[in-house]
Structure 1
């Protein structure tokens, strides 16, 4: 199969028929073999009924329905597991991503050798105050930390080589950082393409301002996990050693002072408590690193989501 289109969605019943029709039109015009994998992330409207009806009309349309809302990352993770195309393309279900971009994204993967291509919505129809400005800050911070020169990490329209989506795991709210996860998994050729951003036609946005706060927290988390997840002692041990040596240095200073001046006080001076606390923190960090090493070597992380129903997927 040439292309798998993975679409996470929440309460998008109005847009789904038009979106599937548009995708089918593009695929047929270019002669691609394809499938559309829709992941219903616990919708409370008739989205699943619409998906089932569309699947009956077109067997290329498949679906997964979560028992409750788990979030976009969980939906993408399950969609990646189900995808079978040589190129996997993700897009949002609200018609703000244009299926007309699919052929160019496919060619960048197959003909130009990219592992991952991220869309860049250079011209947006979002509110400048609540979306554009925070988004620019978020993307700048992510570029600085990751070293990946993308303008729009959070764009839902992306294309992946199949090997990429089968080699990574997306959890929590890490869908914003899939390019970062892919890079740290060894996929180095990551590109960008300017894509059309369309005004929302149906429904309302599912994201609020809190996503930007969560985004920066997730960036800190994925930075630490990505660099030290398999070697936690390198992180905790380093800081533990620094704190312990700092405390030891203060202690040595106090002991030398006491030897040179027997009348000086030892325990009722601020450096004494600084030294004590620093050494305790150092030992605790070192032990945390040791326990982290034991956990990393004796466990494998897996995420499980309760799936209520499937359509066209074994």
Structure 2
């Protein structure tokens, strides 16, 4: 099988899932063969401490469509997905978790939605979940906040089962805990046709969940970071320069008002006190200094962005024509 002939790449990030891997790989292979898909499975071992890598190595010997990547330590799901995105060769990329809670039977319909309905990205929606209430309630709050901030109206941002056009995953970069916001990042990079499909959520068969409540805290901070970078990442002067200029002029106006008031009182023989005895003078001084620093930060940011763009030219180009 040549690389160009691969229709579907299935990326499976995992951590300590040795029990589920044989069943998952067999299930994926069966679905692919029944539908006549050419495919590859990419298992990304995120520094597992169990026998996951040994299982992946054995499976890859038994099935040439299986490839494995092993991290030297646990870097997180985002790093695993980014590695899979870079290595994937298929025209359509499917991501799913390794715990068998995502059903490979969903793959044909996800593939159809990408190839026939021309979606850039299709996100799964686990409408009926088998998770405890301590997980479902924070998830609902998290999804509502993400919809409000991002303007991407999906019910389940954190669903691991998603499908992408190849061009999407090759033109985005994720880090930190940003795997939850791939639809947001994709939209802000110009891939705006985003769909949603209700998918089956199966009870966990082996092991236990690897995620705690702290992921929602880190995830929300990452959302704020993404929103900030998207809005001001290429024009930092618009934020820092505006704030700096506003604070500088506000401080200057207060300082001159205090000085003018003193001169007025002296001229009219009214009681007065030194400008430096007024607390407002020190607030004005702080505003002038902070404003100057913010403006300088925006200026330096603009220089950095200009250098970065001139070296990398990292703008997404959808089509080319001519030589």
Using the size of structure 2 for normalisation, the TM-score is 0.90
Structure 1 residue 110 and structure 2 residue 115: aligned? yes
- Give the structure, 1 or 2, with the largest relative contact order (CA under 8 Å, sep 6 or more): 1
SS of 1:261's equivalent? helix
Structure 1 residue 66 and structure 2 residue 75: aligned? no
Taking the TM superposition and a 5 Å limit, the aligned residue runs for 1:1-314 are: 1-128=6-133, 130-262=134-266, 263-299=272-308
SS of 2:275's equivalent? coil
CA distance in 2, matches of 1:229, 1:174: 16
Cα RMSD between the aligned structures?
A: 1.4
SS of 1:8's equivalent? strand
- What displacement does 1:52 show? 0.6
**How many pairs does the alignment contain?**
301
Please identify, of 52-61 and 258-267, the stretch whose mean Cα deviation from structure 2 is larger.
258-267
- What displacement does 1:266 show? 1.2
CA distance in 2, matches of 1:292, 1:110: 40
Please identify, of 268-277 and 216-225, the stretch whose mean Cα deviation from structure 2 is larger.
268-277
SS of 2:113's equivalent? helix
Unaligned runs of 5+ in 1: 303-314
Q: For each residue in 1:40-94, what CA deviation from the matched residue of structure 2 results, as whole angstroms up to 9, or x when unmatched?
A: 0111111011001001110001111111111111110110011011100000000
Equivalent residue number for residue 321 of structure 2: none
CA distance in 2, matches of 1:89, 1:127: 26
Equivalent residue number for residue 306 of structure 1: none
CA distance in 2, matches of 1:252, 1:190: 54
Q: For each residue in 1:219-270, what CA deviation from the matched residue of structure 2 results, as whole angstroms up to 9, or x when unmatched?
A: 1111111121122111211211222222122223212212222323311222
CA distance in 1, matches of 2:255, 2:150: 39
Using the size of structure 1 for normalisation, the TM-score is 0.93
Q: For each residue in 1:89-141, what CA deviation from the matched residue of structure 2 results, as whole angstroms up to 9, or x when unmatched?
A: 0000001111111111111110101000111111111111x211111111111
SS of 2:277's equivalent? coil
- Consecutive aligned runs of 4 or more in structure 1 exceeding 3 Å deviation: 299-302
Asked if structure 2 preserves the Cα contact closer than 8 Å seen for 1:257 and 1:264, the reply is no
